A = this chain, B = another copy of it.
């Protein structure tokens, strides 16, 4: 691997000059710059990022901690973050952390070893307190898809409550009065908040809230959706529409209904949440709430990078809104 010294020697200048040319900063004579650049090109010299990071004490890389890149939602998140790094001439380090608090902490740790000062963290298993501690130690740490009250200015989050309200309102405005909800069994703050939003919408419309119209899935995927809707169906309770915690569960719901000969949306309307790619694969294509993950991750990455060298916390709030996407899984109810 050819080094800055090689370039300096061949070009007949000092390493400092080469360094200046490479980083395009500092004063260098026009002819000198051209000469050095020529040698750089000829030799194919590439600065050693490790050395740069070591001496300049910053790695110019952004860490992204997510459960798993192979999940489309998180893949999209990673992509959004990556977009931001390109603008900043940064690089992305993706750390998968699936299943436990320890895994998440380890992922952060690994990023820290790389000295990446800017980190976008999607935590599912750490407590608010743990996250606060971390945030204090790492100025460039930003949380995505989570609101930590004490750290609000470091959180990029979605208004789940409003999202669920919007979804419910759309159902209600289509004359549905008996609306079931598909939720997840594990304690998940988002699920709770979306449930609250649903309840609020019902309230605002003067509709009663029925606890027995909530079905819970063990997992927040297709299987969970099937499980939850089966439970609901078997209970004998009547409903004409279903608001699902997310698209994956919603698709499970559609499959289960289909297998029981119940048509969507003719017999039962279904609305999802997230607007994953998968939502258009389903027949009927899923009406859902669009979750702007890519944009949020992009924003979060920029925030992290900014925070990492400014330390200035503007105190701003970083709240995003989901928006309604009309497709084919919701019908107007006619008794």
Contacts and interface: CB of A to CB of B under 8 A. Distances in A.
A70 B59 contact: no
**A68, A251, A277, A294 pick with most chain B CB within 10 angstroms:** A277
A78 interface: yes
- The count of identical subunits is 2
Interface residues of A, number: 45
A75 B82 contact: no
A115 B50 contact: yes
A76 interface: yes
A323 interface: no
Contacts of A110: 91
Interface string A74-87: 11101100100000
Contact of A75 (B71, B109, B115, B222): B71
A99 interface: no
Interface of A: 1, 46-51, 53-54, 59, 68-72, 74-76, 78-79, 82, 91-94, 96, 109-110, 112-115, 222, 251, 254-255, 258, 277-278, 280-283, 285, 294
28 contacts: A46-B112, A47-B113, A48-B113, A48-B115, A49-B50, A49-B114, A49-B115, A50-B50, A50-B54, A50-B59, A50-B115, A51-B54, A54-B54, A69-B82, A69-B94, A70-B76, A70-B78, A75-B75, A91-B93, A91-B110, A222-B281, A254-B283, A255-B285, A277-B278, A278-B281, A281-B282, A282-B283, A283-B283
